[in-house]
Amino acid sequence: MKDWLTMTAADLGRGIAAGKIDPVALTEAYLDAIAAHPNADDIYARVTRDRALSEALATRARAILGTRLGPLDGVPISWKDLFDTAGTATEAGTAMMAGRVPDRDADVLAHATAAGTICLGKTHLSEIAFSGLGYNPITATPPNINDADACPGGSSSGAGASVAHNLAPLAIGSDTGGSVRIPAAWNDLVGFKPTHNVLSTKGAVPLCTSFDTVGPLARSVEDAALAFAAMGGAAVDLNGISLARSRFLILDTIAQDDVEDAPKRAFETAVEALAKAGAQITRGPVPCVARAFTLSAPLYTGEAYSYWQPHIDRDGAKMYDRIFERVTAGKTVLATDYLQAWDTLMTLRATYAQATAGYDAILCPTVPILPPKIAAIRDDEAHYVERNLTTLRNTRIGNLLGLCGLTLPTHTPSCGVMMMAVGGADARLLRLGAAAEKALA
């Protein structure tokens, strides 16, 4: 049973299908591990024990009858605390939503439940999901698996910690500027950001609906693919995968600027492994990426403030200062600036698609820096702002340009390698990722 806590979600599902794993005992093993973990309260905002055991009993009955609902039927999952859970509080990491209890599940949770997955509980996050660092003095800051004194990565901080600390085999987070991929990279996990709007965000507390996406943090690409399908995405066949004749572009524009030594070495080592496995890799700039970055401020802050303004007017004094300052910057964004920025961005997306049309995906370090120390970003406002923007830099390329993205661990602690493909190429990216995962192993 102890081995269950470190197995992939796919292997757990196969064990249930073969009659070797009892889903009730599996769920109890995870619930017991959560109860015994010294940092559980910093990882889970709430544990849905009764729901989990009820769902596990139903899974056991289906397994006995041979009527399993899918490959993840009976597999426990943690959910970021911005996905609505019927009858259980969903508070988005902010005191402004304390006591908010929805009456129905978010669409992706409903899909996953219909696929037989088991809801373990709700995980902590950066306040209102508006930081890549994962530090949240309002609710809790989950521990980084590699350094308890360092930031865990956000905003899906508890999601990453729940898998990395063996308190869930699979976690679901959201990604608006990198919030799945950053905690995945800093906690040595796989993180997948699907194309925007491929998975429903209905019933998820929004940050910027034009960029918000739902994605898994997992122990393998196979797990990420299965979670994607369980939440309403397409089923992806990972059989027969190879990097032979695949073409990658190392994005030199912005993404390679001022990368710290450890992420840089890890990235170059990963690139060598991919090339050895048959990938064709070239380097080059894509100038429109830099132009897209200039549009971040009006697009992100303007849209975030449009949703959160009523909450801030009522309870803004309850917010962490850094998040308050970031979101209220949207107060001064003019409608003309916002709309013109979107017109420009759509043109840049078309330019980017044309410039990279000959490649299967682009490559870059997932995060250009190692996780900063919590004390340093807590005590120095300027350092917090600079580290947060730098942390989000490479992942945000995918959100701005409408791409799908996948980060893989490089086996250098807290260093990931990221592949990003054009919007709609989710299945192809997952297949490439599974092949790359083998090469990196």
Residue range of the domain that includes 331: 247-294+325-440
Contact predicate 171/80, CB 8 Å: yes
155 in active site: yes
Note whether residue 235 is domain-resident. Answer: no
DSSP run (H or E) holding 245: none
pLDDT of residue 240: 94
Q: Report the DSSP beta bridge partners of residue 365.
A: 417
pLDDT band at 2 (very low <50, low <70, confident <90, very high): low
Which domain CATH number covers 401? Answer: 3.90.1300.10
Whether 281 and 208 map to the same domain: the answer is: no
Q: What is the pLDDT of residues 86-127, one digit of tens each?
A: 999 999 999 999 999 999 999 999 999 999 999 999 999 999
Mean residue pLDDT across the chain: 97
Structure tokens at 375: 């004390």
CA 192 to CA 425: how far, in whole Å?
A: 12
Whether 159 and 266 map to the same domain: the answer is: no
Active-site position among 179, 220, 296, 414: 179
Q: What is the pLDDT of residues 346-356, one digit of tens each?
A: 999 999 999 99
Amino acid identity, residue 376? Answer: A
Note whether residue 337 is domain-resident. Answer: yes
Q: How deeply is 300 buried, as exposed, middle or buried, from its count of CB atoms within 10 A (0-12, 13-18, 19+)?
A: buried
pLDDT band at 1 (very low <50, low <70, confident <90, very high): low
Q: Give how many domains the chain has, as a whole number.
A: 2
Q: Report the DSSP beta bridge partners of residue 94.
A: none
Amino acid identity, residue 274? Answer: L
Whether 68 and 184 map to the same domain: the answer is: yes
Query: What would the mean pLDDT of 133-148 be, rounded to a whole number?
Result: 98
Helices in 115-243 by DSSP H: which ranges? Answer: 157-164, 181-186, 221-230
Q: Distance between the two ends of the chain, CA-based, in angstroms?
A: 26
Q: Report the DSSP beta bridge partners of residue 217.
A: 171, 191
CA 165 to CA 145: how far, in whole Å?
A: 7
Note whether residue 311 is domain-resident. Answer: no
DSSP state of 79: E
Note whether residue 307 is domain-resident. Answer: no
**314 CB-near residues (< 8 Å, 6+ apart):** 96
Query: What would the mean pLDDT of 274-290 be, rounded to a whole number?
Result: 96
Active-site position among 78, 126, 155, 156: 155
264 in active site: no
pLDDT of residue 335: 96
Active-site position among 80, 122, 162, 414: 80
Note whether residue 431 is domain-resident. Answer: yes
Residue whose structure tokens are 């508006």: 130
80 in active site: yes
Whether 91 and 155 map to the same domain: the answer is: yes
Whether 266 and 191 map to the same domain: the answer is: no
pLDDT of residue 253: 85
- Whether the model pTM is above 0.95: yes
Whether 251 and 223 map to the same domain: the answer is: no
CA 112 to CA 116: how far, in whole Å?
A: 7
Whether 171 and 254 map to the same domain: the answer is: no
Whether 347 and 386 map to the same domain: the answer is: yes
Q: What is the pLDDT of residues 39-72, one digit of tens each?
A: 999 999 999 999 999 999 999 999 999 999 999 9
Note whether residue 411 is domain-resident. Answer: yes
Handedness of CA 46, 47, 50, 55 (dihedral sign): positive
Contact predicate 82/180, CB 8 Å: no
Of 353, 349, 348, 339, which is closest to residue 303 (Cα–Cα)?
339
Q: Is a pLDDT exceeding 70 seen at residue 189? A: yes
Whether 254 and 213 map to the same domain: the answer is: no
pLDDT band at 382 (very low <50, low <70, confident <90, very high): very high
Whether 28 and 60 map to the same domain: the answer is: yes
Whether 223 and 263 map to the same domain: the answer is: no
Whether 96 and 124 map to the same domain: the answer is: yes
Q: How deeply is 220 buried, as exposed, middle or buried, from its count of CB atoms within 10 A (0-12, 13-18, 19+)?
A: buried
Structure tokens at 379: 């005590």
Note whether residue 312 is domain-resident. Answer: no
Note whether residue 305 is domain-resident. Answer: no
